């Protein structure tokens, strides 16, 4: 199967399933009904067209003129919900927008809110108890990794400042800043004295 049809079919299936599972998303989809939004994804250098009706159709090829055209990276999509952000992103050349700005905001809101409930999906396959156990295990493992990472960072900081003496410790840094302030103060006083002597001469 070619890449583009596989990509569009996957996105379409996932989005429609997420929308069907959440009444709030169904209402958001209704506000987009009858509109066509075209997105150029810079990461993939691909253009996808989203056609909104009772469901979302995702097309790799589209001959008509969309109601809204966006060229962006996926990372800025959540920022489109605020009009001030849109203006700023356009000025920074991070976003190209042609067409209805409010449509872009509604689309951004829908895409941002389409977060899968993995535990719910898993429960359909395995049952509630197994799904909850797996989800809790994944969360615990994530907390363990985060805690391990923080301990590793703390240990590395201690090694750099106390054992290897590559970086200054917090007290040394504070003392250095105090010394800089003192030198700056002395320099200011010296400049005043020089200015005074110059005026007398």
Domain end position, chosen among 84, 99, 116: 116
Do 42 and 31 lie in a common domain? Answer: yes
Q: Which residue is listed with tokens 């929308």?
A: 19
Distance CA 141, CA 76 (A): 29
Which residue range forms the structural domain that includes residue 104? Answer: 3-116
Each residue's pLDDT tens digit, 14-73: 888 888 888 888 999 999 999 999 999 888 788 999 999 999 999 989 998 999 999 988
> Containing H/E element for 96?
strand 96-99
Do 21 and 89 lie in a common domain? Answer: yes
Total number of domains in the chain: 2
**How many C-beta neighbours within 10 Å does residue 49 have?**
19
Do 80 and 125 lie in a common domain? Answer: no
- Residue 9 pLDDT grade (very low, low, confident, very high; cuts 50, 70, 90): confident
């Amino acid at each position: 199967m070619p890449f583009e049809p596989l990509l569009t079919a996957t996105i379409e299936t996932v989005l429609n399933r997420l929308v069907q599972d959440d009444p709030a998303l169904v209402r958001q989809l209704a506000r987009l009904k009858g509109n066509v939004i075209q997105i150029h994804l810079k990461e993939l250098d691909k253009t996808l067209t989203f056609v909104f009706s009772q469901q979302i159709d995702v097309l790799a090829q589209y001959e008509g003129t969309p109601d809204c055209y966006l060229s962006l990276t996926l990372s800025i999509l959540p920022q489109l919900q605020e009009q001030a952000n849109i203006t700023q992103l356009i000025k920074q050349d991070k976003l190209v927008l042609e067409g209805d700005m409010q449509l872009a905001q509604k689309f951004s809101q829908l895409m941002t809110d389409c977060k899968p409930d993995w535990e719910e999906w898993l429960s359909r396959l395995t049952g509630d108890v197994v799904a909850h156990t797996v989800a809790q295990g994944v969360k615990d493992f994530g907390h363990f990794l985060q805690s391990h990472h923080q301990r590793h960072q703390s240990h590395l900081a201690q090694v750099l400042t106390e054992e290897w003496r590559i970086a200054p410790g917090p007290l040394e840094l504070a003392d250095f800043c105090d010394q800089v302030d003192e030198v700056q103060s002395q320099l200011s006083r010296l400049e005043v004295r020089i200015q005074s002597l110059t005026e007398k001469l």
